[in-house]
Chains A and B, each alone.
Chain A
Amino acid sequence: MLQAVLQTDTVLLPERLVDLLRLGEFGVVGEFIAGLIAAFLVANIMLIMTAIAGPWAKRKIRARFTDAIAVNRVGPAGLLIIIADAVRLMSKEIIVPEGVDRPAWELAPIVVALSALLGFAVIPMGSGIHVADPEVGVVFVFAVASLASIGLVMGGYASNNKFSMLGGLRAVAQNIAYEIPLVLVAASVVIFAGSLQMSEIVAAQQDTLISLGVVDIPMWFAIINPFAFVLFLAANMAEIGRNPFDTPEAPNEIVAGYQTEYSGIYFVLFYLGEFIHIFLGGAIIATLFLGGPAGPGPESLGFVWFLVKIWAVFLLTQWMRSAVPRVRIDQLIEIGWKGLLVLSFLNLILTALIVGVITV
């Protein structure tokens, strides 16, 4: 009933490409090629964003918080450092430490990067950029994003280094502790939206909640249920391993955690995977709580609004990095299992009760 009204006819990016390039006559092969092109576009958007965020934006933001200047020598505002860093990191020697588990050690960075990239397959980015929209979108994105833990523990264990092993163990303990609150809070959004499909969750947030004169307050789940939003933000911070939950790489405890022994391009892949993971976390927050690509102006501006939202989440992670201390590993486990887990169960029950009362 409710879902039927909200169901919108979204045209996915591969479908549009099939029409545009007349790939329809090739059947499944044509669809696959269209999917490849769409995926290539979306993945490259993410790579470009990471390239801006990693070598440049991160340093600049941190510098602003600590009253420093950061990169300003290469190019205007230091922007060409992106190219300089890319060339430098690509051409660096890879030092293979003694006694590493060869296939696992080399596969780990690839697993991390793959898991972070693949999550974007189901995210509606507005302006018609949406690669796939399966009925189990929410479950898919969480399943894929948590594959990264396997890569982290692989890298940590295969590195033949004590710091790496502790880092890998910490990463996995943290990811599994905060995965459950994350998914439970997402379940409360599913109760509201009545669907696991990303496009329908976005569509369920399009209506206006209340009009305040000229400003229409939209029905974003962050506004309907701020409690769930805060819980999700906190759990997401731990899931992407940022401050105050960056114990897996804690530089002044265990060097660099699971990536201690990685150099050259493998280090880049770990780094890339982490940044894309931050953006994926931002994209999930935007989709589930902030109305996806919704915003004022025409619908073609959707992608801009989507970018604004995920960069806002990125800025939040960098702000946290400058402002909050790291929690200890024992505190981390206790916050996760005793605090967030119980609160997220409460949130689920409260949401179910409220939705039940409204529907009845």
Chain B
Amino acid sequence: MNDWIAIGAFATIALLIPVGMVAASWLLRPTVPERHKRAIYESGEVPTGDTRVRFNIQYYMVALLFVVFDIETVLLFPWALVYTDAIGEVGLFHALAPMLLFVFILMVGLAWAWRNGAVSWARSPQADRRRATNQ
């Protein structure tokens, strides 16, 4: 029996359950729209400015690093899978050394990113100055 048929069936159920809950709630819940009720929550104040605020560049840097390391984990899995068999066929050195080299190159990359501050939180001098004057 094909496993992916069962997984497809599971996905159908996993989609139907939340949709069914929304539908059941739709039958039960009241709808009383009022203008002020629908206001965006900003600690009780009238919302100010645009929602799409400027945010720390760190979120972007981290996402870039993630792409590199995620692809790397994808490449590591096949190796992890055949590793024990490969030792029997080509010996420990030939099974392990290429992956050590691969991981070493990645660690050099991480060290480079580390030294350049890609993995430590970016501080904005402007914001720091503003905070200092406000106090």
Q: How many residues of B contact A (CB 8 A)?
A: 72
**Contact A338 B114, CB 8 Å, known A32-B5, A35-B10, A110-B18:** yes
Q: Complex formed: what's the CA distance from A139 to B11 in Å?
A: 16
On chain B, the residues within 8 Å of A132 by CB distance are: 3-4, 6-7, 10
On chain B, the residues within 8 Å of A97 by CB distance are: 38-41
Most buried by A among B9, B21, B42: B9
Q: Complex formed: what's the CA distance from A165 to B53 in Å?
A: 9
A102 in the interface (beta carbon within 8 A): no
A39 in the interface (beta carbon within 8 A): yes
Contact B96 A352 (CB under 8 A): yes
A210 in the interface (beta carbon within 8 A): no
Q: Complex formed: what's the CA distance from A139 to B73 in Å?
A: 10
**Contact A35 B21, CB 8 Å, known A161-B40, A161-B51, A184-B73:** no
Contact A35 B8 (CB under 8 A): yes
- Partner-binding segment picked from A75-83, A190-198, A232-240, A306-314: A190-198
A243 in the interface (beta carbon within 8 A): no
With both chains docked as a complex, state the minimum distance between the C-beta of A268 and any C-beta of chain B, in angstroms: 7
- Partner-binding segment picked from A54-62, A213-221, A288-296, A329-337: A329-337
B121 in the interface (beta carbon within 8 A): yes
- Partner-binding segment picked from A66-74, A169-177, A297-305, A318-326: A169-177
Interface bin, chain A: 35 or more
Instruction: Please encode chain A, from 96 to 118, with 1 for each CB lying within 8 Å of some chain B CB and 0 for all others.
Output: 11110000000001100110011
On chain A, the residues within 8 Å of B29 by CB distance are: 90-94, 264-265
A47 in the interface (beta carbon within 8 A): yes
On chain A, the residues within 8 Å of B31 by CB distance are: 93-94
Residue of A nearest to B12 (CB): A36
Contact B80 A190 (CB under 8 A): yes
On chain B, the residues within 8 Å of A96 by CB distance are: 33, 38
Q: Complex formed: what's the CA distance from A39 to B8 in Å?
A: 10
Contact A98 B39 (CB under 8 A): yes
Residue of A nearest to B31 (CB): A93
Q: Can you show 21 pairs from A to B with CB atoms below 8 A apart?
A: A39-B10, A42-B10, A91-B28, A95-B38, A96-B33, A97-B41, A113-B14, A114-B15, A117-B14, A118-B7, A118-B14, A132-B7, A133-B3, A140-B7, A172-B59, A176-B62, A180-B69, A265-B26, A348-B103, A356-B95, A357-B92
Listed in ascending order, the chain B residues whose CB lies under 8 Å from chain A are 1-15, 17-19, 21-22, 24-26, 28-33, 37-43, 51-53, 55, 58-59, 62-63, 65-66, 69-70, 73, 76-77, 80-81, 83-85, 87-88, 91-92, 95-96, 99-100, 103, 106-107, 110, 114, 119-121
- Sorted nearest first, the 8 A-B pairs with minimum C-beta distance are A35-B9, A330-B121, A265-B25, A117-B14, A337-B119, A35-B6, A39-B10, A132-B6
